[in-house]
Each structure stands twice: as C-alpha cells, then as structure tokens.
Amino acid sequence: MEVSTELILLAFGLTLIAGLATGVGSLLAFFTSSTNTKFLSWALGFSAGVMIYVSFVEILVKANDALTAGLGENKGAWATVVGFFGGMLLIALIDKFIPSHGNPHNIKKVEDMHRPNPQGDGELIKMGTFTALAIAIHNFPEGIATFTAALQDPVLGIAITIAIAIHNIPEGIAVSVPIYFATGDKKKAFRLSFLSGLAEPVGALVAFLFLMPFLNDIVFGIVFASVAGIMVFISIDELLPAAKKYDEAHTSIYGLIIGMAVMAVSLLLV
C-alpha cells in the first residue's frame, strides 16, 4: 500500500499535537486558579463519545473490510474480533502492571497546584514521576492509534487527535500537581508533563519503522481492530469514570452524546 510523504508527515504532526496536550494541561494549571469541573466533565464525556462512536461505526468496520479482503469473510471476521479484544487486553495489561498510586486515572484539580511545599516531599515526587511514566506508557499505543488512523483516513486521524488531546490535558495536570506541590518548581513539573506526552509521537515513530514496511490490508486491519479496542477500553475505564467524578446534572452524558453526534455528522460530511 503506497502512502505519500505528505500523509506520513500529517500523521506524525497529529500525534505530536495529541501528545503535547499533556503540556497544555500543565500550563493550564500554572495560569488558572481553579478547575472548571463542569466543563471538564463535559469535555471528557465528549472525548469518550467521539472515541466510542468512531471505534464501532468507522474503525472496526474498516478493520473488518480490510481483513475480509485479505483473509476471506470467515477468517477476516474472526481476525477482527481477535484484534479488537487483543487491543483491550493490551491496555488492560498496561493498567495491571502500573502501581496504583501512579495510575493516571485519578484526575487532579488545578487548585491543588497552588499549594507548593518548597521543602520537598519524596513521596509526592515519586507519585508524580510514576504518574508521568504511567501516562507515557498509556500514550505509546495511543500514538500508534492516531498515526495509523491518519494514514488510513486523515479526517479520522484528526477526530482521534482531538479526542485524545482533550483527555491528555487533565493527565498533564495529574503529573504537574504532585511535582509542583512537592518542589515548588514549575519548570520541573512542566518538563515531566511534557516528556510524558512525547511518548505519543514515539509510538507513531515505532509504527512508522516497524509497520510501514509491511503495510497491507491484513496489517492495517489487525492494527485498526486493536486501535478500536484500545479506544473503547480507555473510554470506559478512564474517561467516563473521570467525567462522572465531576458530573453535574448529567453533564458528562450530554458531552458523550454530543461527541457521538459531532463524530456522526463529521463522517457524513466527508
């Protein structure tokens, strides 16, 4: 399958944008005094809506089409299902081996950023470092997902980039809060947050180096099915619980539905 240089550069650019959103979260914590929890709940719900809808309606369908074209109807259907749940298993195992105090699913508030402890706190520094590492590990398969989606369909890649970037912003805060609280050092807090996001373009680079040479319908289909599984798992396990934590009057559900609607209309217009 031939892919143009322009499309490859676009795919790398989108993964970089998605990854750097963790740095945006860190900067947001420095320049705002409080968390707009209502908007955060809506935005995380919106991100989950985009991911869930596009995974089932677009990505999984394209994966099945590619795999049935390469393997036949029966084997292709089975390969799609295996790829989908294989993606879920991959991200579940990543979660399993991340220490609980470093897991990024516990969203922090900006308010916590404004209580620095210049004397330092080893436990908080350890927590922030583990959180940065955990987010980097999470971002790696997300980078592969964004990159391969953009190669297959740039509009799809842009939609996934927006959804991932939205949920990377509070993850950036989750890194910055404990580091800044412990050290009072904004540069160190931002640097760790920024570096955790760079795992996303690194994932894209790995996909480029190890998947591109073997690019065909079967490889694309398996990767796409896995991407769908990864995004559905992240939405159910991470985004929706975080959105519900700050939910007010079903705000997260409205965001979820609007995210699905925006994705549905976007797919119809292209």
Residue 250, annotated as binding a ligand? no
Please, are residues 236 and 45 in contact by the beta-carbon 8 Å criterion?
A: no
* Cα(14)–Cα(142) distance, integer angstroms: 11
**Residue 237, CB-side half-sphere exposure with 13 Å CA sphere:** 18
Residue 139, annotated as binding a ligand? yes
* Cα(253)–Cα(49) distance, integer angstroms: 9
Residue 168, annotated as binding a ligand? yes
Task: Label residue 184 left, alpha or beta by phi (over 0 means left) and psi (-120 to 50 means alpha).
Answer: left
**Residue 73, CB-side half-sphere exposure with 13 Å CA sphere:** 0
43's tokens: 């935005």
Residue 142, annotated as binding a ligand? yes
Residue 248, annotated as binding a ligand? no
* Cα(39)–Cα(34) distance, integer angstroms: 12
* Cα(109)–Cα(29) distance, integer angstroms: 8
Instruction: Please give the single-letter amino acid code of residue 58.
Output: E
Residue ranges for the known binding site for Fe(2+) are 139, 142, 168, 171, 200
Residue ranges for the known binding site are 139, 142, 167-168, 171, 200
Residue ranges for the known binding site for Zn(2+) are 142, 167, 171
